[in-house]
Amino acid sequence: MRAIHFDHVSKQFPGAPRPAVNDCSLEVEAGSFVVLVGPSGCGKTTLLKMVNRLYEPTGGTISIDGTEIRQLPVTELRRKIGYVIQQVGLFPHMTVAKNIAVVPQLLGWPREKIAARTDELLALIGLPPEEYRRRYPAQLSGGQQQRVGLARALAADPGVMLMDEPFGAIDAITRTGLQDEMARLQRTLKKTILFVTHDVEEALRLGDLIVVMRDGQIVQSGTPLSVLTQPADAFVHDLLGADDMVRQLGLLRVEETMETVPDGVRRSDGPTIGRDNDLRHALSLLLRTAATTLTVMEGETAVGTLTLDQIHRAVLTGKANEVHH
Amino acid sequence: MHVVTRAYEYASDHRDELVAAIERHLLLVGIALGIGILVCVPLGTITARSRVASATLINGFNALRVIPSLAILFLALPYFGLSLKSAVLALTILALPPILINTDAAFRTIDPAIREAAYGMGMARREVLRRVEFPLAMPVIIAGIRTAAVEVIASATLAAFIGGGGLGRFITLGFATYDNAILLVGAVPVALLALIAEIGMSALQRALQPPTH
């Protein structure tokens, strides 16, 4: 199961003055990283929790790969969907390995397969299995706990992952590390991820598609660069900080902006930058080194040059493509 | 002769009686605790979900406990007669509140995020109870059973008043004959049993506590 389809989904909680989610339709492509962003109370978490039926919609339908989610028994549905929450919710009476093994056990996997999978996941999230598998959650740092939470959600290799502000309670430095790691994991795992955050920086860093919500409705959805450069209204403009040029630069890639040098010969001895980097790093490097030109490298070969002027033009024209694809 | 020495001699002379009394005492305690656990643990898992239910039931059970056990014994006499049943009734009423209160508190204080994670991963209600809630609640429930056990072990001596037997027999006998030695033959084992229960259950409670650091 991969693609998720929201069809006019609404959720009215009993006694609430207005619906928490109001007539939301959204197409989530298989393998895409979709970030729901918006102020608190905008309905993003409610929308997320209707996918694994922790909340039931009061209107509309949600389908995964064309099958309405209510067709499946709820426990079966949930075992096919990875779920990560801000408070992590690891079971304190179980070791790290036992925590990760929960869903495989529910699915009745044989013991050796579970043990192998647990070790594989611990290695994947950067916690050496020999050292960590027998520890208890209380013996881990906050960042390590959330890594285990992520491994637990990935255990049975679900096609869909729901992540509800997973890094919201983690300190800024660890959070950036986890975001990088999440982006790295997604490049190889290719899950369909629905990710809720109120952190715009995080949304732009991680998402292929940004879905902006307000008052229970979807205000705009699009690629990070498109929502940032063409905000639908003043609300989106302000929420995303669309005037923040440095933020935009973070979404533009060096290789899309540089001037190519065909012969691979370095033109100067000045500072160098990798072609995969973004323009925010490039600008920072230019300012720090007081150089006029950066040499763009691919491994040991010079492939292009980048000047302050080119960066300036890239911002003005908005021609370059996004970093995330 | 010193009273302790005489008590020891009395106990040696009445060895079979003493063993029988200890067995009867443990039977009384066992039945009362058993009923308390069977009633209050399931009840506590339910009351934990409703503030009203838990307030009503806990206050109700506590009110029952205010009636002196001796009064309950005599109140039960017309219905159950001079038998084990009357004693068990009085002791069970003592055992109920601590077990219910602790079970209720144990389930109530489980972190909602842990519950949400459990359901979100696809556990059914039964699995959440068995694999997550019970293991987490167990140390606190055991603490409740510990309190109940100590109380019931001490109070089971009252059974002797209505012919229910147990270690209270030696206490009433010693009292009636002004012989402190006989009284000690009942009192010392009761104190030891209570101490063993306290220490044993505390150890169990610690063993079931998940590591916190």
pLDDT tens-place string over residues A39-59: 988 999 999 999 999 999 999
Residue type present at position B186: G
Of B118, B132, B211, the CB nearest to A138: B211
Residue A141: closest CA among chain B residues belongs to which residue? B213
Q: What is the mean pLDDT of residues A67-94?
A: 94
In order, the DSSP letters of A145-210 are HHHHHHHHHHTT--SEEEEESTTTTS-HHHHHHHHHHHHHHHHHH--EEEEEES-HHHHHHH-SEE
Q: Do A54 and B120 touch (CB under 8 A)?
A: yes
Q: Taking an 8 Å Cβ-Cβ cutoff, which residues of chain B contact chain A? A: 111, 113-114, 116-124, 127, 131-132, 135-136, 210-213
> Which is more confidently placed, B53 or A12?
A12
Per-residue pLDDT band for A1 (boundaries 50, 70, 90) equals low
CB contact under 8 A, B135 and A77: no
What tokens appear for A145 in the block? Answer: 């706990």
pLDDT confidence of A292, banded at 50, 70, 90?
confident
The percent of residues above 90 in pLDDT, for chain A, comes to 58
Instruction: Choose the weakest-confidence range: A180-189, A294-303, B24-33, B165-174.
Output: A294-303
Distance from CA of A267 to the nearest CA of B (A): 56
Q: Which residues of B touch A161 (CB under 8 A)?
A: none
What value does the mean pLDDT take over residues A211-218? 95
Is A91 an 8 Å CB contact of chain B? yes
The residues, any chain, with a CB within 8 Å of residue B85's CB and separated by 6 or more, are: B76
- Looking only at the bridges linking them, the beta strands covering A59-64 and A67-68 are antiparallel
**Chain A residues with beta carbon closer than 8 angstroms to that of B213:** 138-139
**Residues in CB range of B44: below 8 A, 6 or more apart:** B99, B100, B101, B102, B103, B104, B106, B107, B141
Residues of chain A with Cβ-Cβ distance to B125 below 8 Å are: none
**pLDDT at site B135:** 95
Angle at A194 between CA A190 and CA A196, to 5 degrees: 135
CA B121 to each of CA A140, A193, B106: distance values in angstroms, whole numbers, following the listed order: 21, 16, 22
Q: What is the pLDDT of residue A250?
A: 83
Nearest chain B CA: its distance from A200 CA (Å): 25
Measure A322 CA to nearest chain B CA, in Å: 34
Angle among Cα B155, B158, B159 to the nearest 5 degrees reads 110
Residue to substitute from A80, A84, A100, A102, interface B, most B β-carbons within 10 A: A102
Tracing tokens 């027998």 back to the chain, one arrives at: A134
How many CB atoms neighbour CB A177 within 10 A?
15
**Which of helix, strand or coil describes residue A23?**
strand
The burial class, CB within 10 Å (0-12 / 13-18 / 19+), for A184 is exposed
Mean pLDDT confidence for B28-49 = 94
Q: Which of B121, B123, B205 to mutate to test the interface with A (most CBs of A within 10 A)?
A: B121
Q: What is the mean pLDDT of residues B166-177?
A: 91
Q: How many whole angstroms separate alpha carbon A69 and alpha carbon A5?
A: 10
pLDDT digits (tens, 9 = 90+) for A257-267: 888 887 767 76
3-state percent breakdown (helix, strand, coil) of chain A, nearest 5 = 40, 25, 35
Q: Say how far apart CA B49 and CA B44 lie, in whole Å.
A: 9
- Residue A325 has a pLDDT of 37
Check if the beta carbon of residue A215 is closer than 8 Å to that of residue A18.
yes
Distances A45 to A62, A150, A248, B74 between C-alpha atoms, Å = 15, 18, 26, 60
- Chain A partners of B135 at a C-beta cutoff of 8 Å? 93
Close Cβ partners of A146 (under 8 Å, ≥ 6 residues apart): A84, A88, A166, A167, A170, A178
More confident residue, A237 or B82: A237
Spatial neighbors of B57 by CB under 8 A, at least 6 apart, are B43, B47, B100
Beta strand A160-164 with A192-197 is: parallel
Q: Please give the pLDDT value at position B143.
A: 96
**Residue B171 token pair:** 């206490």
Residue type, B33: L
pLDDT at residue B1 above 80?
no
**Mean pLDDT value of segment A208-235:** 92
Average pLDDT over residues A209-226: 94
Interaxial angle between packed helices B180-208 and B168-176, expressed in degrees from 0 to 180 and rounded to the nearest 10: 150
Cα–Cα distance between A249 and A254 in angstroms, integer?
10
pLDDT at B34 over 80: yes
Residue of A25 and B63 predicted with greater confidence: A25
Contacts of B122 in chain A (CB under 8 A): 74-80, 103, 106
Which is higher by pLDDT, A291 or A196?
A: A196
- The mean pLDDT value for B185-196 works out to 94
Q: Are strands A81-85 and A67-68 parallel, antiparallel or unpaired?
A: unpaired
Give the pLDDT of residue A85: 93
B111 contacts on A by Cβ (under 8 Å): 87, 89
Of A80, A91, A152, the CB nearest to B132: A91
Kindly report the nearest CA distance between residue B132 and chain A, in angstroms: 7
3-state SS class at A218: strand
Helix (H) or strand (E) segment spanning residue A302 = strand A301-307
Higher pLDDT, A292 or A269: A292
- Backbone φ, ψ for residue A37 (5° rounding): -130, 150
Calculate mean pLDDT across residues A164-191: 89
Average pLDDT over residues A271-276: 86
* Highest mean pLDDT, choosing among B53-62, B66-75, B113-122: B113-122
Interface test with B, best of A93, A96, A103, A136 (most B CBs within 10 A): A93
Report which secondary-structure segment, H or E, holds A5.
strand A4-11
Average pLDDT, whole number, for chain A?
Answer: 89
pLDDT band at A323 (very low <50, low <70, confident <90, very high): very low
Percent of chain A scoring above 70 in pLDDT: 95
Say if CB A168 and CB A86 are below 8 A apart.
yes
